[in-house]
């Protein structure tokens, strides 16, 4: 069966998901991949249902995947039926207030990252900085110092050869070190492998409402260390989030109100994007219904959606059984609770097909009714499975309003998780986010710019006879349809993108889905650059009032501008920041590589100082005059950029693809010019590692396209890169 996939989807699959040989060439097709996943996951029936028709289950799963009605999280698609076999996306690990616990968790974190998973932690049990250490009569360094240890460990572990580790660090708002925690990521060089969130309690929110002080509690003694103003702490959170997008906030008591296994313990942390609260040593298996494919003949196909939900619950419960867990403790806890996270993607596309504007009460109502249906049917599906396979081990009795049943296979069934790369494969909008862009710009190696235009916009524009190439250029230049005269007003209203939608509607949509979601909802409230701190405050209070379990905001350009503020600048914030290159030290160290160009052999030298690469020299033995001066100029400008903090990957992208009339071949690859040769040497030296500065500056470190801040993370819609995976 040939699967209908976009060209971009096939590129992402080949780059990230398909089996490869030792040379990195794909040795399976997308069709083969879906067959591999369906076959592997269906095999769980042999273990769980002695009378099951495994072949029938495989056919059912393959239809579910091949029609793009449902896709599981990336680890399942990558690893099902393969040697690694680690199929879960997210984990939470415990951290107690002892060196033994902390460094045992560091070890376990490395093992999880190596297998391709992301990790969440609460650092709230660690005694505060400068507290007493009885065993040594010394003083403690506090949770932030240990977060740095986890960050460095993450940096050194490459996940499964394709993914870097992602972490969530949570600190309760009543921890004595909360002020330092809130501001820690205002320094953009710190904790680059962490998202951080403050765990806000009911007591804190009540103190904020009554303009009162509240207690900071030393976790070692469980006694009050001091009383502080709730408003002061809240203002710090708002200010830091306005500056950098972090910390996020989670409403930890609201999360525990909905904890389905309260008898096991309290939930203290979430996975890296915040949508999956988990007990210590729990993992969760995630997957998403493609809502766009649930629309047929301009209306919702409820029969198809019901079948997709039931098949997806069966699929995800099987994944729990087939997963090769990185730690025995995780296997024990995951199988005892059997949490699954069925969510959605393509919500914005569904609205477009139904003619509903994202920022409308009709969209809010549609989101709530969709998720209510999915929640209800996923519970029914879980109950039916439990009748055959048994309840989850820690089942405490009838804990769900619907259905009233003594059976339940899974402690939780629903989560709205990020769908960054799987939504690209499905060709739809991410999760419950608005459409990111009507026109997606893509750059290829020779510098040509290609446009991917939203297919529903193309269809409607052609139907209403206003589609043309000049219009697409105009949309790509402005990034939005608003104020383009030739586009009818009703089309402009329908095709609003993330930044066209006011924050209140972002929160309303999130709350509508949260109402019927067991776990939490991954979403970003996007704000324009000119948004105020007061607007951030209003978003946080609205999220709490409407019953969300957390919220993440991102003000356009906030982190990007921070990176550029280097060196001495004016105190007047209206002035442009000044970028000053660091001075060249007396001694550097480096290497020289010879590379063949059309003009002759070029010798490229790359030198580094204590902070990294700082110089690029290039020399050609038999040339002079203009060619020599241009080579020197390119080297000087690259050196200046390196010493000014510009990421090396950005320099590589600028130099790559520059052509001269005389290209040459080396090692089977064409060298287009001397600058292109210099880029190749830089790339060979760095191996094109993804670095934080590239991500912060708003460009994808893999393809150079614009990154979107959505679903609690940084994602690239062009190539599937995600900073959180």
In the chain (725 residues long), the average pLDDT of successive 10-residue segments reads 86 91 91 97 94 96 97 95 93 96 96 90 96 80 94 74 75 98 90 94 98 97 97 98 95 97 96 95 96 95 98 98 96 97 98 97 98 98 95 78 72 95 94 90 55 89 90 78 87 91 96 98 92 96 98 82 33 48 75 84 84 84 67 86 82 83 77 87 66 47 69 76 71
CA–chain centroid gap for 185, Å, is: 17
The 3-state DSSP class for residue 218 equals strand
Q: What pLDDT, on the 0 to 100 scale, is given for residue 687?
A: 57
Rounded CA separation 42/28 (Å): 20
Beta carbons of 690 and 672 less than 8 angstroms apart: no
Beta carbons of 338 and 364 less than 8 angstroms apart: no
Rounded CA separation 161/164 (Å): 8
The 3-state DSSP class for residue 124 equals coil
Known catalytic residue at 380: no
Nearest Cα to Cα of residue 327 among 14, 110, 645, 144: 110
| From 90, 273, 599, 724, active-site residue | 273
Instruction: Write out the CATH class of domain 1-84+287-436+503-557+715-725.
Output: alpha beta
Nearest Cα to Cα of residue 88 among 114, 118, 131, 111: 118
Tokens (6 digits) for 645: 């903090």
The 3-state DSSP class for residue 257 equals helix
Known catalytic residue at 548: no
* Cis status, amide bond into 247, omega within 30 of 0: yes
CA–chain centroid gap for 523, Å, is: 10
Tokens (6 digits) for 563: 């990176």
Rounded CA separation 544/200 (Å): 10
Rounded CA separation 247/20 (Å): 39
Nearest Cα to Cα of residue 374 among 506, 505, 547, 513: 513
The residues, ordered by sequence, that sit 6+ positions from 315 with a Cβ below 8 Å of its Cβ are 41, 61, 64, 70, 72, 287
| From 73, 193, 271, 318, active-site residue | 271
Which fold would CATH assign to domain 90-270?
Anaerobic Ribonucleotide-triphosphate Reductase Large Chain (3.20.70)
| Count of Cβ atoms closer than 10 Å to residue 160 Cβ | 17
Beta carbons of 180 and 173 less than 8 angstroms apart: no
Known catalytic residue at 271: yes
* Cis status, amide bond into 612, omega within 30 of 0: no
Rounded CA separation 627/608 (Å): 26
Beta carbons of 34 and 3 less than 8 angstroms apart: yes
The span from the first CA to the last CA of the chain, in angstroms, equals 30
Residues facing residue 671 across a β-bridge: 664
Rounded CA separation 144/177 (Å): 8
| From 268, 275, 282, 535, active-site residue | 275
CA angle 561, 567, 571 (to 5 degrees): 75
In the DSSP assignment, the letter for residue 128 is P
* Cis status, amide bond into 128, omega within 30 of 0: no
Tokens (6 digits) for 448: 């040509």
Instruction: Report phi then psi at 328, rounded to 5.
Output: -65, -35
Rounded CA separation 245/524 (Å): 10
Q: What is the pTM of this model?
A: 0.81
Rounded CA separation 144/127 (Å): 11
H-run or E-run covering 248: strand 248-251
| Count of Cβ atoms closer than 10 Å to residue 605 Cβ | 16
């Amino acid at each position: 069966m040939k699967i209908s996939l976009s060209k971009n989807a096939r590129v992402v699959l080949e780059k990230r998901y398909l089996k490869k040989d030792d040379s990195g060439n794909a040795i399976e097709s997308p069709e083969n991949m879906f067959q591999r996943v369906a076959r592997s996951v269906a095999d769980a029936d042999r273990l769980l249902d002695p009378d099951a028709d495994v072949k029938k289950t495989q056919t059912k799963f393959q239809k579910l995947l091949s029609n793009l009605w449902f896709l599981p999280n990336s680890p399942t698609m990558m690893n099902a039926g393969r040697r690694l076999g680690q199929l879960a996306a997210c984990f939470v690990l415990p951290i107690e207030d002892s060196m033994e616990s902390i460094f045992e968790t560091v070890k376990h974190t490395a093992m999880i990252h190596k297998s391709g998973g992301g990790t969440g932690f609460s650092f709230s049990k660690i005694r505060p900085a400068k507290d007493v250490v009885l065993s040594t009569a010394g003083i403690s360094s506090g949770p932030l110092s240990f977060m740095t240890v986890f960050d460095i460990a993450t940096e050194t572990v490459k996940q499964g050869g394709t993914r870097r580790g992602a972490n969530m660090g949570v600190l309760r708002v009543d921890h004595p070190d909360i002020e330092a925690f809130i501001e820690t990521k205002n320094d953009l060089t710190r904790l680059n492998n962490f998202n951080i969130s403050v765990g806000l309690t009911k007591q804190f929110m009540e103190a904020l409402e009554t303009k009162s002080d509240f207690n900071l509690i030393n976790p070692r003694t469980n006694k009050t260390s001091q009383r502080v103003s709730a408003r002061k702490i809240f203002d710090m959170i708002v200010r830091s989030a306005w500056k950098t997008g972090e910390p996020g906030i989670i409403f930890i008591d609201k999360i525990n109100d909905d904890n389905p296994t309260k008898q096991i313990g309290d939930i203290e942390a979430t996975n890296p994007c915040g949508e999956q609260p988990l007990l210590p040593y729990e993992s969760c298996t995630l997957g998403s219904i493609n809502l766009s494919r649930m629309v047929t003949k301009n209306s919702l196909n409820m029969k198809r959606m019901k079948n997709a939900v039931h098949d997806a619950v069966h699929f995800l419960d099987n994944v729990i059984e087939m997963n090769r867990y990185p730690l025995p403790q995780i296997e024990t806890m995951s199988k005892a609770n059997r949490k699954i996270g069925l969510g959605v993607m393509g919500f914005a596309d569904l609205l477009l097909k139904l003619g509903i504007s994202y920022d409308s009460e009709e969209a809010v109502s549609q989101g709530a009714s969709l998720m209510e249906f999915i929640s209800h049917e996923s519970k029914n599906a879980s109950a039916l499975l439990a009748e055959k396979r048994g309840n989850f081990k820690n089942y405490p009795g009838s804990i769900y309003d619907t259905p009233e049943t003594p059976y339940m296979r899974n402690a939780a069934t629903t989560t709205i998780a990020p769908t960054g790369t799987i939504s690209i494969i499905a060709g739809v909008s991410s999760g419950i986010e608005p459409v990111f862009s009507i026109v997606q710009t893509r750059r290829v190696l020779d510098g040509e710019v290609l446009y991917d235009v939203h297919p529903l916009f193309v269809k409607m524009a052609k139907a209403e006879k206003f589609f043309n190439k000049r219009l697409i250029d105009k949309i790509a230049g402005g990034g939005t349809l608003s104020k383009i005269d030739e586009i009818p007003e009703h089309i402009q209203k329908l095709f609003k993108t993330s930044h066209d939608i006011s924050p209140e509607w972002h929160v309303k949509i999130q709350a509508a889905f949260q109402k019927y979601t067991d776990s939490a909802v991954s979403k970003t409230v996007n704000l324009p650059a000119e948004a105020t701190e007061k607007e951030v405050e209003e978003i946080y209070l609205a999220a709490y009032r409407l019953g969300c379990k957390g919220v993440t905001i991102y003000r356009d350009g906030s982190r990007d501008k921070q990176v550029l503020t280097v060196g001495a600048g004016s105190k007047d914030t209206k002035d442009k920041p000044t970028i000053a290159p660091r001075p060249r030290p007396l001694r550097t160290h480096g290497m020289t590589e010879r590379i063949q160009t059309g003009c002759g052999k070029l010798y490229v030298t790359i030198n580094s100082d204590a902070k990294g690469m700082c110089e690029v020299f290039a020399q050609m033995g038999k040339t002079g005059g203009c060619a020599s001066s241009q080579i020197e100029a390119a080297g000087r400008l690259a050196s200046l950029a390196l010493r000014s903090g510009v990421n090396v990957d950005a320099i590589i992208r600028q130099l790559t693809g520059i052509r001269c009339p005389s290209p040459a071949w080396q090692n089977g690859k064409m060298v287009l010019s001397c600058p292109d040769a210099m880029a190749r040497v830089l790339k060979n030296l760095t191996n094109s590692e993804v670095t934080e500065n590239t991500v912060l500056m708003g460009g994808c470190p893999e393809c150079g396209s614009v990154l979107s801040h959505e679903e609690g993370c940084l994602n690239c819609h062009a190539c599937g890169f995600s900073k959180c995976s």
